[in-house]
Structure formats: structure tokens, C-alpha cells
Amino acid sequence: MPYAIPANIKYEEKLLGPLTIKQTGYVAVGGAIIGWVYLMSGFDFALQLPIILVVGLLTVGFAMFNLDKFLSNYLAFMKTEKKTSWISPAARQLMNVKSIRADSVFLKDGRALAILKVVPINFGTLSEEDKDTVIYGFLEFLNSINFPIQIVMRSVNLELEGYLRALKRRITQRDDKVALAYYEHFADYMRDYIKVSKINDRHFYIVIQSESRGVDKTVIENLEVRCETIRGALALSGIVSERLNTNELVNFYSSYFTETFEIYDTFISPVTLYRKMWQERPKKAEQQKAGKPEAK
């Protein structure tokens, strides 16, 4: 019976019994320091003992428990940017985004991306025949791709405020006080239930990269063709997808640096705040040139 040979086997040569070359080096350095402290340093025994214990523990940690890798990873973690805003230079360097326009994301290295938002389907509620249709349709989708793509899944906080505001607006228009009282209990229950149960919503995206670089028109046309190819292939299995437009792309990237995922103009967020500031600045400049008072 044939057995598959694992490909990710790591083997290090042994030098001293069960110790590898690196482990032997750590033991040799630690032993030399301990020997010098005990035999040649001339320190009092009260001082020698803690030094020997510390060096011995470090030697065991480096030789047997990969303390060197732990320290390296810890130092690398401490040097990285851990918290930043979406408009900071560190965030721009991390995202590598040059501009977002024409429903596309242009990167500093010359690449351009388009993002499709995929509407998930409840696979568990389908019949066996429909499940087979989805599986074979998705298989055809994978086999039809002749260019690289990236599939992204995000778990975000479930946001029901928009739905609750719309529901309250309809009840207020009907002037139904009984229904409004039931709405308040329902809204409080849903907020508490989502908070306590920590219910998240999942979003699925497909990132598509342009084949060509350079001329914007050629890049945009190439992305359009690839997006339509992916959407048509997904439709074979009944999966609906939509391409994110420019505003949705800005919201998508900025949502990684804000607590709210869906961003609208109806409430203040970092995106809407700066958007309104830059929209109002030209209006104020025109009013000052015309000698008109500012509109309030």
C-alpha cells in the first residue's frame, strides 16, 4: 500500500548527541560563560550563584525552547504599527493605494484591482439536486479561471441600525403609538441580543487584478472584461455578485480603520466628516469672493 511522503519535513543535522549544531553552539557558549564565572571570575559565591542560574536558564531556553525565535518575533511585533487612522501615512504605506477611481483601485506599484462582492447562499436549505448544481457550477467556475484571483472573507459586527431606523420611520408615518411601543422593546432586544451573543455578519469578496499596466483606459477595460467573466462563471452555480463602485471601494478600505462597516452620509464617521469638510470648503471660498454671507 503506497503512502504519501510529507513534503514539509524539516531535518537538522545532529552534532552532539540529540543536540543540533545550533543547540550545541548555545550550550557551548552558555557553558563557557558559566565556567568562567565559577572558576576564573573571582566573584563571591553569593554573586556567582545568581549569575550561573540566569545564564543556565537562558542557555536552556535558547537551546531547547527556541527562545531566539520568540525574542525575534517579539521585537518584530514591537516595531510594527499597531494602531493607526485611515488617513495616516502608515495606513497609506500599508495599503499601498495610489488612488481609487473608475470603480478600480490603482496601487503604487502599477497594478490595478477590481473587487466583486459576492452574495452568499444558504447551502444547507437547498435540495440535493440544487446542491449538486451549485457544486458543479462552482467547479466549472474554478476550472474556467485563467488568471489569479483572491477570495476574501470578512467577519464584521452585525449592523441593524439602518434597518431599525427605516422600520421606526414607517411606524412614525402611520402614527401608530402601540406599534411604536412594541418597536422600542424589539429594538432594545435586538441590540442586546447581538451584543451579548456577539453575532457577526460575513462578507465575501473576490479581488481581481488587471493583466496590463500603464494606460488607464486599457487597464479599466481589462478589469471590466475580467469582472464580467467572473460574474458569468459564478452565475452558473446561482451565485450573485456585484462589482463595487468608487464610493463603495472607499468605504471598503476605510472600514478596516473604523468601527462601523457600512458608512452612509446620514451619520458622522471619519469618512463622512472629511468628505463634508472638503465639500463645504469650495462653497465658502466662492461665497467670500462674491461677498455673500455664509449659508447656515
223 CB neighbour count, 10 Å cutoff:
23
Cell 557558549, residue? Answer: 29
pLDDT per residue of the chain (296 residues) written in tens, 0 to 9 = 455 555 566 667 777 778 888 889 999 999 999 999 988 888 888 888 999 999 999 999 998 888 988 999 888 888 877 676 666 777 767 778 888 899 999 988 888 999 999 988 888 888 888 888 888 888 888 888 888 899 999 887 777 777 888 888 888 888 888 888 888 888 888 888 877 877 777 889 999 999 877 788 888 999 999 999 999 988 888 888 999 999 889 888 877 776 555 444 444 444 444 444 445 555 555 656 566 554 44
C-alpha span between 116 and 206 (Å, rounded) = 5
pLDDT for 122 equals 80
Contact status, residue 86 vs residue 253, Cβ threshold 8 Å: yes
Cell 447581538, residue? Answer: 194
3-state SS track over the chain: CCCCCCCCCCCCCEEECCEEHHHHHHHHHHHHHHHHHHHCCCCCHHHHHHHHHHHHHHHHHHHHCCHHHHHHHHHHHHHCCCCCCCCCHHHHHHHCEEEEECCEEEECCCCEEEEEEEECCCHHHCCHHHHHHHHHHHHHHHHHCCCCEEEEEEEEECCCHHHHHHHHHHHHHHCCHHHHHHHHHHHHHHHHHHHHHCCEEEEEEEEEECCCCCCHHHHHHHHHHHHHHHHHHHHCCCCEEEECCHHHHHHHHHHHHCCCCCCCCCCCCHHHHHHHHHHHHHHHHHHHHHCCCCCC
Whole-model pTM: value is 0.55
How far is Cα of residue 274 from the mean position of the Cα atoms in its chain?
A: 23
pLDDT for 3 equals 54
